[in-house]
Chains A and B, each alone.
Chain A
Amino acid sequence: MNAWTVILAAGLGSYLFRLSMIVLFDRITMPAHLQRASELVAPAAFTALAATGVATACMGLGVTQAAAPLAAVAAAIIAVLRTGSSQAAILVGMPTLWITAAMLPS
């Protein structure tokens, strides 16, 4: 299964989800705990992907160079906590990454 097939399969499954209750509406009642779980999936998934992505990026660099992405993440966290805007993570984190990477010895 290559990337194209994966995307097609994920797309087909997603469309079936969208269509499911429109077809089955009169026959199924959705459990409340499943509704609550669905609200938690995206934050948990985003966190898992972020932690994995940052850790993998750092492991591919030397100890010194890994300081740049770590500094960017730290700055992003502080920016979001101070502003309450998720978009501050990129607006602050990327310049921090560029500046830190430029200052570090290669």
Chain B
Amino acid sequence: MAPWLAGLVPFGLVIGVSAAQSDVPTLAGWLTGPLIYAGSAQVATIGMLDAGAAPVVVVTAALIINIRLIFYSATMARHWRGTPWWWRLAAAYLLVDPSVAVGLDGYRRLSRSRAHAHYLGGAVLLWVSWLAAIGVGATAGAGLPAWLHLEFVIPLFLVGQAIAKLADPAMRRAIFVAATVALLALSAPLQLGIVLAIAAGVAAGLNARSDGPAQSIHPLQPSTEVPR
């Protein structure tokens, strides 16, 4: 869990700062933590609300980004068969990239009951750390001077996340196409250009994968990169 926390805490701080600097109420920005509980969707929600996107567009974009949670749900479902419903409801709430990775590791190494505890312990630690990091960022970010231009932290963070993926050909094509479409569609109403750019980027990336050899880029490899 430690490598995940090392990447997660700065990400949480950045989200907190962006919530404090945006036009979104700071408490609402912080609430993206316990309610959405997925960093990339939180960034998109806060950023698009701040940009004045239409509510339906914001919710759609956040849910498109979070589609991967369905796969995580499928991944963990077989391990949670036969557990009480209250346990499954709570465990499902805590599903996110790092908790799935830590949970799967536990189910490989430990007995079923101990693996349940391993998952829940790691997931709760992650959840508390995440909410604390966002809270600290939101609190500190509101009191910082304007010349720091902290509103620019999120675009730079996103640039870093995107550029770090350029080594994979499919990712590279998805990133270039998404950037191009986003810039061409800047004047689209309701910030629809963002959703259009995501769709175009994913389509281009899928096309690249079908052209070349299959590559595994499973998102659950622990690394120093930020969990999505």
Chain A residues with CB below 8 A from B67, complex form: 17, 34, 37-38, 41
Mostly, the B contact residues are helix
Task: Decide: A7 near B28, CB < 8 A? Known: A45-B44, A93-B159.
Answer: yes
Size of the chain B interface, CB-CB below 8 angstroms: 97
Q: Are A52 and B160 in contact (CB under 8 A)?
A: no
Q: Are B154 and A44 in contact (CB under 8 A)?
A: no
Contact with A along B43-81 (1 / 0, CB 8 A): 111011101000110110111111111111110111011
CB closest chain-A residue, reference B217: A39
Q: Are B156 and A46 in contact (CB under 8 A)?
A: no
Whether, in the assembled complex, B140 has its beta carbon less than 8 Å from a beta carbon of chain A, the answer is no
Chain B residues with CB below 8 A from A36, complex form: 206, 209
Q: How far is the CB of A48 from chain B (nearest CB, A)?
A: 4
Q: Are B74 and A30 in contact (CB under 8 A)?
A: yes
Chain B residues with CB below 8 A from A4, complex form: 25, 28, 31
Whether, in the assembled complex, A67 has its beta carbon less than 8 Å from a beta carbon of chain B, the answer is no
Q: Are B58 and A6 in contact (CB under 8 A)?
A: yes
Q: How far is the CA of A69 from the CA of B181 in the complex (A)?
A: 20
CB closest chain-B residue, reference A50: B158
A contact residues, range: 35 or more
Q: How far is the CB of A10 from chain B (nearest CB, A)?
A: 4
Whether, in the assembled complex, A14 has its beta carbon less than 8 Å from a beta carbon of chain B, the answer is yes
Q: Are A17 and B66 in contact (CB under 8 A)?
A: yes
Q: Are A81 and B163 in contact (CB under 8 A)?
A: yes
Task: Decide: A22 near B164, CB < 8 A? Known: A30-B70, A40-B171, A55-B183.
Answer: no
Q: Are A44 and B201 in contact (CB under 8 A)?
A: yes
Whether, in the assembled complex, B191 has its beta carbon less than 8 Å from a beta carbon of chain A, the answer is yes
Q: Are A21 and B77 in contact (CB under 8 A)?
A: yes
CB closest chain-B residue, reference A22: B77
**Selected interface stretch from B88-96, B102-110, B127-135:** B88-96
CB closest chain-A residue, reference B48: A49
CB closest chain-A residue, reference B68: A38
Whether, in the assembled complex, A1 has its beta carbon less than 8 Å from a beta carbon of chain B, the answer is yes
- 28 A–B contacts, CB within 8 A, in A order: A7-B32, A10-B58, A18-B72, A19-B73, A19-B89, A20-B73, A25-B81, A33-B206, A34-B67, A39-B219, A42-B40, A42-B65, A43-B201, A47-B178, A47-B201, A48-B198, A50-B158, A50-B162, A51-B178, A52-B186, A52-B191, A53-B51, A53-B154, A69-B152, A72-B156, A87-B160, A93-B152, A93-B156
